[in-house]
Amino acid sequence: MSLLRGVAEGVSRFVVRHASPGSKEWAEGLAREADFVESDWKAVAWSLGSMRVLLSYREAPLRSFAELTKAAEKYAEAKRQSFGTTNALWISNLCQTLSWSVCFFLARSWQDRIGYSLLTLGYVPMTIYTLIQSRKEFDVPDRFDPASMIQYYKAGLERVCNFLAPSSLVYVYSYTLIFAGMGIVFRKVFFGLPTSLLYIGLALLLLQKRQHNLRRLEEIEALLHASS
């Protein structure tokens, strides 16, 4: 085997090893095809091109109704488990709201006052929202009712995908104010540029997550359509 072939194989193996669960099959397909490329240079180019599948994370596809039921159960279970955290979250948000408002009154410069007021205004809706969420424990359907669990899972994904849903609006509004406030309050320390970059990074992550959820929703709809 030539050195170039070795490189091509090495890259293909790397891609297969690191591909996300939903892309694994495709990465393996790409790796197999590299063996059929006649020229060594083209084989290297082929395997380098296959690295493209690493750029997007894909969950393992839902191929059957049984897999969908399992995914819905997992989602419902995660929601049940998260209620303890939601309680801690709203209390923590309340503490933040109170402490930032105290800081507002103690602040000496007008810039700090603006920063603290933005932080307070950002945490108030988050506190209210997380408090409401912590009271929704009984919305999770029963473990022995797969149909309701699937509907619950689907509704949850739809809600997250909808940018105009109240939850999305609360998050966007709150995080914008919180990051802007932090940028102002910690401007002399280290926060200015990193905060902006963090916000952009978070926004990109959210967009990617939304893309996953949209894919998952399409799979669910196709499976529900096939089973009806």
Partner 1 sequence: MKIRKSTQTTQLLAEFLKAEQEWRYGYDISRNTGLKSGTLYPILMRLAEHRLLETSWETNEEGRPPRHMYRLTQDGLRYAREQISAASVPTLGKPAFGGVGGL
C-alpha span between 96 and 120 (Å, rounded): 8
CA angle 138, 148, 143 (to 5 degrees): 65
Nearer to partner 1, 71 or 184 (CB): 71
Q: What is the closest distance, in whole angstroms, from the C-beta atom of residue 172 to partner 1 in the complex?
A: 23
Query: ∠ CA 85-91-93 to the nearest 5 degrees?
Result: 100
* Count of residues in contact with partner 1, rule CB under 8 A: 28
Task: Compare residues 5 and 215 and give the one whose CB is closer to partner 1.
Answer: 215
In the complex, least distance from residue 130 CB atom to partner 1, rounded to whole angstroms: 32
Question: Which residues ranging from 34 to 73 are in contact with partner 1 (CB under 8 A)?
Answer: 35-37, 45-53, 56, 58, 61
Of 218, 125, 214, 220, the C-alpha closest to 162 is 214
Determine phi and psi for 81, rounding to 5 degrees.
-65, -30
Instruction: Write down the least CB distance from residue 219 to partner 1, Å.
Output: 8
What is the distance of C-alpha 43 from the center of its chain? Answer: 35
- Beta carbon nearer to partner 1, 23 or 86: 23
Contact predicate 27/53, CB 8 Å: yes
Q: Is 166 in the site for partner 1 (CB under 8 A)?
A: no
Question: Could you say whether residue 33 binds partner 1 (CB under 8 A)?
Answer: yes
Contacts of 124 (CB under 8 A, 6+ apart): 97
**How far apart are CB 224 and partner 1 at their closest, in Å?**
13
* CB-neighbour burial class of residue 78 (10 A; exposed 0-12, middle 13-18, buried 19+): exposed
Q: Considering the rule CB under 8 A, would residue 103 count as an interface residue with partner 1? A: no
Q: Give contact residues for partner 1 (rule: CB under 8 A).
A: 23, 25-26, 28-30, 32-33, 35-37, 45-53, 56, 58, 61, 214-215, 218-219, 222
